[in-house]
Structure 1
Amino acid sequence: MATTSNAFNFSSFMQSSVDPRTGLYTLSIALPALNANDLCGPDLPLQLSFNPMSKDNKGFGIGWSLKLSSFKIDPGMLSLHTGESFLVADNGPGNKPVIVEKKIDSFHFSNISTGNKERFRIAHKGGLVEILEPQENDTTVAVPTRVIGPSGHGITLCYDNKTPSKVRLEHITDDTGRILLEIKYPTDFRTELTFNPNTRSSARYTLDLHQEKLQKVTLPTSSEEYWELDYDFYDGFPFLTSVENPDKGVETITYHEGTGGHKYPGIARYLPSVDEHWVKPDIRKESTHILTKYTYSTDNFLGNGTGLTYGNEDGTDQLYRYTGTTFKYSSTAKHYRNKDVYRTVVSTFNRFHLMTSQVTTDNGCIETITTKYHEVDNLEFKYQPEHFQLPDTVTKSWTKADDPMVGDYEQTKTTYDRYGNVLTELKADGTRMVREYYSGADDPEEFERNLKSVVIYPAAPSSPGEPQAQIISSEFF
């Protein structure tokens, strides 16, 4: 059974982290920029990402994928290259789809199929437009075949349509005909990604697999420079346990297993969560080793503690069905160096997976960040205002553990329109910024995103008799 939660929507060459919401360890490999059309774009960031909640092997190893948008036509699961996922009720060509869990108007999805040819279009608020089409060897999933930037320049993505039920990207070209990326799958155990092939700036990354697991990533610089990975499997899902870098630095990860993991509400099922995470830059020098131990509240991001029963997966976040306003869950990370705790971070989240509090204790000093959102009490997700996931008031305070009377605080307040655009911002120093936007009716994609004016009002003088700073006003045409 898959696990769906919008907590997953919030995760150098290798970037790794333990998500304080879910307790999952994730890893991504940043790939070179495509630099398409003589640097005219579009700018499509590419990275190989590891998701322990995936059993799929798309040619890069179980759990690994090239982070591109895709649309599973049935049941209508849309995954964006930004990392977000949404269930889409597609009402056919020319009809507006229903995306229940999409609040902010950050993208527009449309079915542009004609006749028997299925095509889908995603217009992003940032200006990128993607055309998705199913391939001959798997008509159940639409993948990007064309990506166009705000300037009109584009790139074309071509796939291997010979391998049954497995759509694999083969190359990306720009409008000049230049091949930006070529991917070859010479065997089931090796994948080669070559950027700018047949040029002096060609760079090849080699991925070696064992039993469908990505175990080795060799860099373009030398066959002696590579990353090595190892895993454990729980319920058929891959969980990384070791990551070794080319300098022989090592990360090791152990998990709370069985009943020690996150409990699914109302059923006898548990999800492993990170217990200990070691970072050893120099395996021989213990003074460089950092250990982080994680503990989690019984209430969790799956909805345990709400009284709900975890049901059949339908592509939506089941915690969003909860209407109470007092539910929260938390995680605690204790960082050790030389066997002593030097920093503790307690992160607390609400029923919508929004971080409401983060308390960091370091060497007797305490920093507390509390965030109030534009959430309306006692309303479930579908009745919340569009901008409710954006911060209303952020308060930062600093105190000392042995003397709570010593300290300071600052506060920032922000308002938004229904499209997620900042309208007003009152900063901690007393300055206030007011923004106005052009109507979406004037935008080719009908986004309300273009600034019309910005006015900055200065803070009041700190003492009587001081001159008032000027008001700065800017207009955009």
Structure 2
Amino acid sequence: MYSNAFNFASFLQTGVDLRTGQYSASFPLVSLRSFHEQGSEHTLTLGFSMMNPLDVGFGIGWGLSGLSSYTDSDIATQPTLSLSTGETYLVEPLPSESGEVTLRDKKLNDVYVYKQDANTLLVAYKDGTLETLSRLASGVPFQQTVRQLPSGERFTFEYAPPIGQVMRLASILDSEGVERLRLDSSNGVQVDTIYTRQSATTESQLRLQYINGALTESRRVSSEDDSIVNYTYIELGEQLALASVTHPLGGQEQLVYQIEGHQVGSLSQTSFLPYVIEWKRIPGGTQPLTTLRYTYSADTNFTGFPFNGSPSLEYDNLYDQPGEYDY
């Protein structure tokens, strides 16, 4: 489902997004920056979203954030660009030769996208960061293969062979050829261990365990840390959602959902999109628990329901609403 509501920063943080009612959880993997000088950096995270129905090597709903990709018309009815900053945009038809790429619904002049050739897109951000997106195989999205920071530090991204339409990141190397991130898989499908280098002298591992294909435990191991986070899930119709997250020191987050949540008509097989109605945070020890409860308008929501015309999964239907629309 496409909505510009998912482009707001609050959706990218751990917790409940107030606009959509969706709970997401994420944690940082590695910061891409120079080891030798101060400057900008970019963090890759592993995160869960119930809006993500795919298993790209980390269990259903889990994926890497902080990478750009482009899905063209050979794969999807409506081409889509997902940026490393977290925004996702529908893309107008690419120029036949080289030239600027037009992003639909883009409100700020903070990114420029250019088609270099049939297999390469260039992305330039206003802070001076440059990215290269490349077609690495037919039938799969363009993947980010280069990121160059304003300081000139350059990172190269390598990928495992595609499985269907999924290409999984395999490693990231810096300008000196040092491996900053490596994802290992014993069966070629699910990632078992993520190795990261946070500094010239500091390494860590993130070990992942699965039950029936679902990520149930992540264990971070380093010279300074050995911490475990556990996850449980609940099936909400056609979606998988997190039911609880247990933190290393015993604190726990528990979620309760409204299964028949936002009305979305034909955008869902059930006509509803579930949302969180209660988020309980239990610190453990003698600290008091915190309970947050959420309510949403029954007849309108961030999807633009009831729709003005036939709704689309690949377009923000809210833009088709004439006049004022409150939710």
Structure 2, unaligned runs of 5 or more: none
**2:157 matched to 1:157?**
yes
The superposition leaves residues 177-211 of structure 1 with CA deviations (integer Å, 9 ceiling, x where unpaired) of: 11111111123454211112997421111122222
Contact kept, 8 Å, 2:256 with 2:279, in 1: the verdict is: yes
State the AA in 1 paired with 2:282: K
Q: Aligned to 1:7, what secondary structure does the other structure show?
A: helix
Q: Could you say what the CA RMSD is over the residues aligned between the two structures, in angstroms?
A: 2.5
CA distance in 1, matches of 2:100, 2:225: 51
Contact kept, 8 Å, 1:135 with 1:161, in 2: the verdict is: no
What is the CA distance between 1:6 and its match in structure 2? 0.7
Partner of 1:321: 320
Q: Aligned to 2:279, what secondary structure does the other structure show?
A: strand
CA distance in 2, matches of 1:218, 1:47: 15
Map 1:11-410 onto structure 2 (within 5 A): 11=9, 16-36=14-34, 38-39=36-37, 43-67=41-65, 68-74=67-73, 75-89=78-92, 90-113=94-117, 118-136=119-137, 139-161=139-161, 163-187=163-187, 188-196=189-197, 200-221=201-222, 225-258=227-260, 261-264=261-264, 269-282=271-284, 285=286, 288-298=288-298, 299-305=300-306, 308-309=308-309, 311-313=311-313, 315-325=314-324, 327-329=325-327
State the AA in 2 paired with 1:201: T
CA distance in 2, matches of 1:17, 1:49: 11
State the AA in 2 paired with 1:35: R
Contact kept, 8 Å, 1:36 with 1:180, in 2: the verdict is: no
CA distance in 2, matches of 1:184, 1:83: 25
Partner of 1:389: none
What is the CA distance between 1:240 and its match in structure 2? 0.8
Q: Aligned to 1:229, what secondary structure does the other structure show?
A: strand
CA distance in 1, matches of 2:311, 2:101: 25
CA distance in 2, matches of 1:26, 1:100: 25
Distance 1:34 1:198, change over 3 A: closer
Contact kept, 8 Å, 1:266 with 1:308, in 2: the verdict is: no
CA distance in 1, matches of 2:213, 2:96: 37
Q: Aligned to 1:320, what secondary structure does the other structure show?
A: helix
Contact kept, 8 Å, 1:227 with 1:243, in 2: the verdict is: yes
CA distance in 2, matches of 1:62, 1:99: 28
Which is further off, 187-196 or 287-296? 187-196
Contact kept, 8 Å, 1:37 with 1:176, in 2: the verdict is: no
What is the CA distance between 1:172 and its match in structure 2? 0.8
CA distance in 2, matches of 1:290, 1:100: 40
What is the CA distance between 1:164 and its match in structure 2? 4.7
Distance 1:168 1:6, change over 3 A: same
Distance 1:257 1:236, change over 3 A: closer
Contact kept, 8 Å, 2:30 with 2:180, in 1: the verdict is: no
Contact kept, 8 Å, 1:42 with 1:148, in 2: the verdict is: no
Which has more radius of gyration? Answer: 1
Distance 1:26 1:160, change over 3 A: same
CA distance in 2, matches of 1:98, 1:197: 36
TM-score, normalising length: structure 2: 0.88
The superposition leaves residues 70-118 of structure 1 with CA deviations (integer Å, 9 ceiling, x where unpaired) of: 10012310011111110111223323333221121110111111xxx50
What is the CA distance between 1:152 and its match in structure 2? 2.5
Contact kept, 8 Å, 2:33 with 2:42, in 1: the verdict is: no
CA distance in 2, matches of 1:141, 1:9: 20
What is the CA distance between 1:265 and its match in structure 2? 5.1
CA distance in 2, matches of 1:112, 1:253: 46
TM-score, normalising length: structure 1: 0.61
State the AA in 2 paired with 1:28: S
Distance 1:266 1:47, change over 3 A: closer
What is the CA distance between 1:223 and its match in structure 2? 8.9
CA distance in 2, matches of 1:213, 1:266: 28
Distance 1:15 1:249, change over 3 A: farther
Higher RCO, 1 or 2 (CA under 8 Å, sep at least 6)? 2
What is the CA distance between 1:324 and its match in structure 2? 0.8
CA distance in 2, matches of 1:266, 1:78: 24
Contact kept, 8 Å, 2:52 with 2:61, in 1: the verdict is: yes
The superposition leaves residues 373-403 of structure 1 with CA deviations (integer Å, 9 ceiling, x where unpaired) of: xxxxxxxxxxxxxxxxxxxxxxxxxxxxxxx
Which is further off, 142-151 or 207-216? 207-216
Q: Aligned to 1:219, what secondary structure does the other structure show?
A: strand
Contact kept, 8 Å, 1:216 with 1:228, in 2: the verdict is: yes
